[in-house]
Chain A
Amino acid sequence: GAVVSQHPSRVICKSGTSVKIECRSLDFQATTMFWYRQFPKQSLMLMATSNEGSKATYEQGVEKDKFLINHASLTLSTLTVTSAHPEDSSFYICSAREGLAASYNEQFFGPGTRLTVL
């Protein structure tokens, strides 16, 4: 089946530093990748959608200069949290879809990255 990996699975950093999270589709080409954030006991919140080779589309309220997304290839997307602050501590999850269309195309999730900013 479709496998999506994320690295690292857990990261602790100091306030003010930047953290990069990688998301890879291992056995399919991901035309579209998504980044979500989830706070404890809350629902998934979509942060941005990226298509390979294009700029990411950010959801309202998500700062694109703080959360840098690069989808440079069909198997890799990265999320960089710049100048991280404690309120950025959360569970970051990527997902990937093989096709461009949302219809009839499942999204497969990576295992998530737990970020803690001290």
Chain B
Amino acid sequence: QKEVEQNSGPLSVPEGAIASLNCTYSDRGSQSFFWYRQYSGKSPELIMFIYSNGDKEDGRFTAQLNKASQYVSLLIRDSQPSDSATYLCAVNIPRNNDMRFGAGTRLTVKP
């Protein structure tokens, strides 16, 4: 089982819709969860982090964490074409003091 798994997509949503991106992780001891956005040809950019169970909102973005299910998600409300990018989930791995990235989900928001 991979340490961090994401559906590679592509995920396509119409403009104005909610985009839902999912991520599962294997290490129950993980404590920190991050979402990065990567535009084509650019490096990743941190958009949110979450450490506690529940929801965390920042503008149009909501991160959701469920440690019991080892699941973290990112919701993007009112999706815009400029949100089209690859979204990377990252999780800390306590046993080796490391952070591992999922392969990323490619999101396309169609006007």
A106 within 8 Å of B (CB atoms): yes
User: Interface residue count for A (Cβ, 8 Å)?
Assistant: 20
Q: Contact between B31 and A109 (Cβ–Cβ < 8 Å)?
A: no
Q: Contact between A103 and B31 (Cβ–Cβ < 8 Å)?
A: yes
Q: In the complex, what residues of B have CB within 8 A of residue A106's CB?
A: 34, 46, 49
Q: Contact between A43 and B42 (Cβ–Cβ < 8 Å)?
A: no
Q: Contact between B46 and A111 (Cβ–Cβ < 8 Å)?
A: no
Q: In the complex, what residues of B have CB within 8 A of residue A43's CB?
A: 88, 101-104
A91 to B90, CA, bound (A): 19
Q: Contact between B51 and A104 (Cβ–Cβ < 8 Å)?
A: yes
CB distance from B104 to the nearest CB of A (A): 6
Q: Contact between A112 and B42 (Cβ–Cβ < 8 Å)?
A: yes
Interface residues of A (CB under 8 A from B): 43-44, 46, 49, 91, 93, 95, 100-112
B93 within 8 Å of A (CB atoms): yes
Contact mask for chain B residues 67-102; partner A; CB cutoff 8 A; 1 contact, 0 none: 000000000000000000000101011100111111
Q: Which of B44, B90, B102 gathers the greatest number of chain A CB atoms within 10 Å?
A: B44
Q: Contact between B43 and A103 (Cβ–Cβ < 8 Å)?
A: no
A110 to B90, CA, bound (A): 17
**Residues A93 and B43 in contact in the complex (CB < 8 Å), given A102-B99, A106-B34:** yes
B32 within 8 Å of A (CB atoms): yes
A102 to B98, CA, bound (A): 5
A43 to B48, CA, bound (A): 19
A34 to B66, CA, bound (A): 28
Q: In the complex, what residues of A have CB within 8 A of residue B57's CB?
A: none
Q: Contact between A107 and B90 (Cβ–Cβ < 8 Å)?
A: yes
A55 to B100, CA, bound (A): 21
CB distance from B5 to the nearest CB of A (A): 12
Q: Contact between A102 and B94 (Cβ–Cβ < 8 Å)?
A: yes
A101 to B51, CA, bound (A): 14
Q: Contact between B104 and A102 (Cβ–Cβ < 8 Å)?
A: no
Q: Which of A44, A106, A108, A111 gathers the greatest number of chain B CB atoms within 10 Å?
A: A44
Q: In the complex, what residues of A have CB within 8 A of residue B98's CB?
A: 49, 102
B55 within 8 Å of A (CB atoms): no
Q: Contact between B93 and A102 (Cβ–Cβ < 8 Å)?
A: yes
